[in-house]
Amino acid sequence: MRVTLDRMAIEDVGLNPQRLAEAIHDQLAKIDGAVPIYEIAAALDIDEVREQPLCNLEAALVTTPERDRGSILLNSRSNRQRRRFSLSHELLHFLNPTHEQISIDGFRCTRQDMRLSSGDRIADRHRRQESEANSFAIELLTPRYRLKPFLRGATDLAHVVAMAKEFDISREAAARRFVELHPEDLAAVFCKDSRFVYAACGRDFPRLSITAGEQCDLGQAVQGTISSFDEVAPDDWLHAAQPACELSAQTLWQANGRSITLLRARQSDDDGPGFDDTFERFTGGLSR
Ligand SMILES: [Zn+2]
């Protein structure tokens, strides 16, 4: 697939990560399946994408302050889905001339950097840049105009699995996207051997009390399966000083002891939002 992009027209939209990603999609023909991220990178003047085993890094970008050309290095130890996300992430560092490299060797991004989201409290410049690159990466890889089918119907991790497959992204990235845009109050909790690693929360989700390394009560692990949604005790997960809510959890058991749990919070008198609210969230914010 050959991709041609008018870079000036894209950069004319400004620095907002979502707008930049949408400007790229505006120039692409409607696509099914995975977004052709390598072809997009080439069309945006990335001369070379190399892959080699990296320690402590997921990706790096070497470019000039003018951003006329760039080359990107990806960690070949990570799977294809992660490499696609990392490439998309580096593209924002390239397209946003206000992003500053942290070392003389260029931009160097770790797996922790790739987890930062705009929901996190971002105090320093580096973390803010990383969070913006992640916003852009997911907007580019999972354009909003194609997400409606995954956010409709009953809340279920099966939609996350389907989304990951459709867009050729990791289930982790798909789960973060799902809770970001879903009309219900959701959080995606990532565990290893039932111990908490980190979580991504929807914007109205109550504050989690659980911390890294803590044991989570996730029920019986059966690799390759998705549990049903079961009620869990809010006290096990949430800070106490919040409006009372009902909390339920569903877990996807993956390989190597990894799991993704979807937490759903509902006010006791809440029937949940309708589809109008979902649509509002699609079009909300920037297009208004
Ligand atoms: Zn980065």
Q: What is the CATH number of domain 145-287?
A: 3.30.450
Which residues lie near ion ligand 1 (Cβ < 5 Å)?
Answer: 109, 113, 130, 133
- Does residue 65 or residue 51 have the better pLDDT? 51
Note the pLDDT tens digit of each residue in 68-113: 999 999 999 999 999 999 999 999 999 999 999 878 889 999 999 9
For residue 13, report the distance from its CA to the centre of ligand 1, in Å.
Answer: 21
For residue 172, report the distance from its CA to the centre of ligand 1, in Å.
Answer: 17
For residue 127, report the distance from its CA to the centre of ligand 1, in Å.
Answer: 9
For residue 219, report the distance from its CA to the centre of ligand 1, in Å.
Answer: 35
For residue 15, report the distance from its CA to the centre of ligand 1, in Å.
Answer: 15
**Rounded distance, CA 281 to CA 288, Å?**
11
For residue 117, report the distance from its CA to the centre of ligand 1, in Å.
Answer: 12
Domain map of the chain by residue range? 7-141, 145-287
For residue 206, report the distance from its CA to the centre of ligand 1, in Å.
Answer: 28
**Rounded distance, CA 123 to CA 129, Å?**
11
Which pLDDT band, with edges at 50, 70 and 90, does 29 fall under?
confident
Note the pLDDT tens digit of each residue in 108-152: 999 999 998 876 666 788 899 999 999 999 999 999 999 999 999
Q: At what angle do helices 171-181 and 275-283 cross, to 10 degrees?
A: 110
For residue 173, report the distance from its CA to the centre of ligand 1, in Å.
Answer: 15
Domain 145-287 in the same topology as domain 7-141: no
For residue 133, report the distance from its CA to the centre of ligand 1, in Å.
Answer: 6
**Rounded distance, CA 93 to CA 115, Å?**
16
Which pLDDT band, with edges at 50, 70 and 90, does 271 fall under?
low
Domain 7-141 has CATH 3.30.70.1450: no
For residue 148, report the distance from its CA to the centre of ligand 1, in Å.
Answer: 28
